[in-house]
Amino acid sequence: MAIEQTFVMIKPDAVSRGLVGDIISRFEKKGMKIKAMRLEMADPEVVAKHYEVHKERPFYQGLVDFIQSAPVVPMLVEGENAIAVSRALMGATNPAEGRPGEIRFDLGQHIGRNLIHGSDGPETAAFEVGLWFPDGGADYKVAGEQWLFE
């Protein structure tokens, strides 16, 4: 059993298409705790640091412009195996390569409009949580925290 924190961000295409509720609902129903969440136009400096790893990729500028094109919903998510669980809920980077039940397969249009970001490992999660939520999130208990009953 490993309680983890991870960073999840609902991207501008999902906000614009009215899919925030559907996406958050999937995390809640899985038992993930939303420790912090905002709706905001992303800070360009934060976005630059967040996507620095992709700086040399051909899609980088389009990605950064897209992320700043409309509000995002950054979330600090906590739960058992939260990093892998979040990645599984999201699905494949390319929606066309995913499977039914995954957010990106069910709702995503193409790889450049794939609705959601989630940290891909423990080091990335620690970096991204610190970048987007330097103050951490609220400490509270929710009904359905499976790990309370183990």
Side-chain half-sphere CA neighbours of 106 within 13 A:
14
Cβ closest to Mg ion, residue 59 vs residue 147: 59
Work out how close the CB of 97 gets to Mg ion at its nearest, in angstroms, rounded to a whole number: 15
> Whole-angstrom Cα distance, residue 137 to residue 13?
25
Q: How does strand 73-80 pair with strand 33-37?
A: antiparallel
Instruction: Report if residue 112 touches ligand DAT, rule: CB under 6 A.
Output: yes
Q: Evaluate whether 139 touches 133 at the Cβ level (below 8 Å).
A: no
Instruction: Find the catalytic residue in 50, 54, 110, 117.
Output: 117
CB atoms within 10 A of CB 58: 8
Instruction: Report if residue 114 touches ligand DAT, rule: CB under 6 A.
Output: yes
Angle between helices 20-30 and 82-90 (to 10 degrees): 140
Work out how close the CB of 98 gets to Mg ion at its nearest, in angstroms, rounded to a whole number: 15
Instruction: Report if residue 93 touches ligand DAT, rule: CB under 6 A.
Output: yes
Contacts with Mg ion by CB under 5 A: the residue count is 1
Q: Which of 142, 118, 140 is nearest to 5 (CA)?
A: 118
Instruction: Report if residue 109 touches ligand DAT, rule: CB under 6 A.
Output: no
Site string for Mg ion, 80-119 (x = CB under 5 A): ----------------------------------------
Reply yes or no on whether 110 is catalytic.
no
**Active site residue ranges:** 117
Give the binding site for ligand DAT (CB under 6 A): 54, 59, 63, 93, 111-112, 114, 117, 120
